[in-house]
Copies of this chain bind each other. A is one copy, B any other.
Amino acid sequence: MTRPINIALVHYPVLSRDGSLVTTSITNLDIHDIARSAHTYGVQGYYLVHPVAAQRELASRVLKHWTEGSGAERIPDRRPPMESVRVVTSLDEATEDVSARFGQTAEVWVTSAQPMHDAITHQAAAGQLREPGGPVLLVLGTGWGLAPSVIDGADRRLLPIVSPRADGYNHLSVRAAAAILLDRLLAGSPET
């Protein structure tokens, strides 16, 4: 039995290419792709974090189309992952919601393509998820990654996904990084 795991995609506070603090836009495919990966790997809630009301409303309209509207009829397979998506204002709100849903304080685990202090391996993180404990909120950043304040305030920091290339090129999309992380943390099938 693993600990309850949830995932958050943060649009603020994140970094821009030049390292300043910015707010990114919600994109349709970040909703779909990460919801599908999350649901496939047994994630219990996918939080879209955005401080701007108009962006949250846009996301909610997309979700409604796939959970209640014509999308749900046309592609019923899309409904369960979309039902697990929750649109919130801040990472704190996401963390409090996870804690409330599971009746125990959620641990915040952050990810980055950059090295972070005190980071643990994905293997160690997978081991922690298999041991008894409270719920976990795995946090991914959009743009050029989570702001330092989010990284410093987290309970756990996960090592970056390392490129096997000699030149170290490492520019995965957040959708690809989410899929790889969920596979490394949650794939329970030793036969593959």
Contact = CB atoms under 8 A, between A and B. Distances in A.
Interface stretch (A60-68, A93-101, A178-186): A178-186
Given A176-B37, A180-B180, A171 B77 contact: yes
Interface stretch (A7-15, A39-47, A48-56, A145-153): A39-47
B162 A192 contact: yes
Interface of A: 17, 29, 32-33, 36-37, 39-42, 75, 77-78, 80-81, 121-123, 159, 161-167, 169-173, 175-180, 183-184, 186-192
Contacts of A17: 75
9 contacts: A42-B164, A122-B192, A161-B183, A162-B191, A164-B187, A164-B190, A172-B179, A177-B179, A179-B179
Contact of A171 (B81, B162, B169, B189): B81
Chain copies in complex: 2
A164 B40 CA distance: 7
A39 B192 CA distance: 23
A164 B169 CA distance: 31
B187 A41 contact: no
A17 B172 CA distance: 29
A90 B180 CA distance: 29
A173 B123 contact: no
Contacts of A163: 40-42
